Amino acid sequence: MPGQIPLIGEKFPEMEVITTIGKIKLPDYFKGKWFVLFSHPADFTPVCTTEFVAFAKRYEDFRKLNTELIGLSVDSTFSHIKWVEWIKEKLGVEVPFPIIADPRGLVADKLGLLHAQSATHTVRAVFIVDAEGTIRAILYYPQELGRNMDELLRMVKGLQVVDKYGVALPANWPSNELVGDRAIVPPASTIKDAGERPRRYTCFDWWFCHKEIPKEEAEVVREYLRRIAK
């Protein structure tokens, strides 16, 4: 049986891993940075290849958000290296981030990423971890559907905005149907606070208030969304 998946809000488990750049310790290796750890079912498979190309093409966008990338599968280091070489040679794309080699499935098991029907395949999953080493988001995808990297960029940027301004963000931010690129004000904690809210913020009711945040925060994400529309 797979191990217990860590939960959102918990610290990313400490572990030493073998990667294509050597042995590193997580989450310490990315101390002070956010990182996205993503698992893929197997090297030399079509959907995973398209994902690695997409991640590589957006690597600098992630880095602008103080965010690093690291891949993971139960393939060997040799397999990872040959696959990355193939991607560079045949597709003209260099993969600039490390990939964890986990042929015994120990890392995948610790993170709850082994496929339920096969101990020889990792599920297609994503962990978004903040600069404090705390897991902020976890996503799972079916083997048949590749991930949308611009949405992952939106999530990282959105979580950083949440932390910076102490707000929540609405559906489809920054293009929400009700409040546009504005942010949701956190819930009231007292009766007095609830009563004062309509005077301090724009509100549909005291429990649903929103406020403006700097436009440049939303513009970063709009650029990702423009890519999705192309």
> What is the amino acid identity at position 123?
V
Instruction: Tell me how far apart the alpha carbons of residues 33 and 19 are, in angstroms, rounded to a whole number.
Output: 18
Q: Measure the CA–CA gap between 101 and 9, rounded to whole angstroms.
A: 26
Q: CB of 77 within 8 A of CB of 45?
A: no
**Residues 135 and 10: beta-carbon distance below 8 Å:** yes
The helix or strand, by DSSP H or E, that contains position 12, with its residue range, turns out to be: none
Choosing from 17, 48, 87, 161, the catalytic residue is 48
Q: Is 203 a catalytic residue?
A: no
Per-residue burial over 167-198, b if 16 or more Cβ lie within 10 Å, else e, is bebbeebbebeebebbbbbeeeeeeeeeeebe
> Any idea which residues carry the catalytic annotation?
48
